[in-house]
Amino acid sequence: MGCDGGTIPKRHELVKGPKKVEKVDKDAELVALWNYCALSQEILRRPIVACELGRLYNKDAVIEFLLDKSSEKALAKAASHIKNIKHVTELRLSDNPAWEGDKGNTKGDKHDDLQRARFICPVVGLEMNGRHRFCFLRCCGCVFSERALKEIRAEVCHTCGAAFQEEDVIVLNGSKADVDTLRSRMQEKRMRARVGKKTKKPKAAEAVSHPAAGEASEGPSGMNMGKPEASSLDPREKKAGKPPCGATKRSIAQSEESEAYKSLFTTHSSAKRSKEESAHWVTHTSYCF
């Protein structure tokens, strides 16, 4: 069968060998990681946020994901660890002055340089294209290259001056080992937050159940031994809010309140008028004398 007309089949057409494993283009993979949102697969645009695992997202895509949980499983898996908006940090990125984007591509025949990045490190000047390791500070959101943090060691941010610790440094689009380390750190942090909330609830319940130390306490005979002054007041005086008989009246001007509060009363100096500003007894105006 076959081989009609003098055709000679080759060996690879008759013998089926093992299939070759398809290799992923590294340049295309880096472009997808650093230029596109990990959730919506759209191009990154400000405001850009990053999660605790170092993945990049569009902020509006994260908000839509949190509001609508019925999204596709393939996309929802990339953000399954994001439970609320506090689990992401808005990034402060430095623009690359050499990046033109689509400004000069009016005819559609311009070559796109995949190595050119939109953002750079503000300290060293390295482009954020995946060739160099970048990280951000969770406390302030500033983005730097890892080389800048190693060469210029400091306990404050190089851009905004905010103090940070080693736990605040998160690697962007790190390797599998980096992601595993960040995931374990994230789980420990959330576990500590849950334990802290559980310990606060019993303390609040005890504060409500037990009265304060200054409240009245009953003696052995059942009488109230706390505040004799309050018990001696007449119930009508209590309703009217009158002070006890022995109490001395004090004016608002002698009190320790602020000047804005004192100015609400007529005893304040700003409420008193001079003779020139007072009204005439006939015309009730200060202009006719």
pLDDT tens-digit series, residues 128-166 = 988 899 999 999 999 999 999 888 888 899 888 889 988
pLDDT value, residue 222 = 47
- Residues with Cβ < 8 Å from 149, sequence gap 6 or more? 135, 169
Strands of the sheet containing 134-137, edge to edge, are 143-145, 134-137, 169-172
Taking 70 as the threshold, does the pLDDT of residue 243 lie above it? Answer: no
- Residues 282, 135: Cα–Cα separation, whole Å: 80
Q: What is the pLDDT of residue 18?
A: 79
In this predicted structure, what is the pLDDT of residue 203?
A: 67
Terminal alpha carbon distance of the chain: 131
Q: Lowest-pLDDT range, 90-94, 174-178, 222-226?
A: 222-226
The percentage of the chain sitting over the pLDDT mark of 70, rounded to a whole number, equals 65
Token digits of residue 155: 């306990």
Residue 74 confidence (pLDDT) above 50: yes
CB atoms under 10 Å from CB of 117, counted, come to: 22
Residue type, 241: G
The enclosing H or E element of 193 equals helix 176-209
Residue 113: pLDDT band (50, 70, 90) is low
CA atoms in the 13 A half-sphere facing the CB of 23: 3
Supply the pLDDT for residue 52: 92
pTM to 2 decimal places: 0.60
